[in-house]
Amino acid sequence: MDNLRPYRSFVSYIDRSREYYAAQDYSKPYVWAHHDDVPFTPLRKPISECRVGLVTTAGRTQEEGMIGAGRLMREPYAEPANPPPTHLFTDDLFWDKETTHTDDVDSFLPVNRLAEYAAGGRIGSASPRFYGVPTDYSQSRTSQGAAPRILEWCREDGLDAVLLSAL
């Protein structure tokens, strides 16, 4: 207990988001999404029989995902998992770029690990695609646009489970 500090030694993401929105002259402060009901459900079969997919909040590569002036398209996308991507666009996201990097895609989108798990029988199979939903602070665009599109692709690919790897 003697090591406790009377102040925060980290940056509060919630406070920073509210400050950012206030600085942009939004009429209302940012309100974090809250859902009393979530669609999580137990698996209907053992994981060793399930087809598993991955969703990332990273954007496509800079060449594919930019709309100009350094702005990233924030549309959901589905890309082949084989061959795995060598790079995804993360430069616009807020993370500690001095301490770490996202040059190793496997560190935040484990496409290769999923394929290894499928080959070893740990999961039934890996999805033929991975899915991206670049970070978007609009709750309505996320819940009414991106989420239904990702769900549609997951159903097309016959997924039983999906892992979200958020940056």
Does 3 reside within a domain? no
pLDDT tens digit sequence for 115-153: 999 999 999 999 999 999 887 777 888 888 899 999 999
84 within a domain of the structure (yes/no): yes
pLDDT, position 65: 46
pTM (two decimals): 0.76
Q: Is residue 1 part of a domain?
A: no
Question: Which domain range does residue 155 map to?
Answer: 43-165
Q: What CA–CA distance (Å, rounded) separates 127 from 52?
A: 6
Whether 68 is covered by a domain: the verdict is: yes
pLDDT of res. 10: 60
Length of the chain counted residue by residue: 167
Cβ atoms of 92 and 102 closer than 8 Å:
no
Report if residue 21 sits inside a domain. Answer: no
Report yes or no on 10 lying in a domain. no
Give all strands (DSSP E) within 86-132, no chain letters: 125-126, 129-132
The tally of domains found in the chain comes to 1
Q: Which uninterrupted H or E stretch holds 78?
A: strand 77-80
Kindly report, residue by residue over 42-100, the tens digit of the pLDDT. 899 999 999 999 999 887 755 554 444 445 567 899 999 999 888 777 666 656 667 66
Q: Mind giving me the DSSP string for 13-44?
A: HHHHHHHHHHHTT-SS-------SS------S
Residue 103 included in any domain: yes
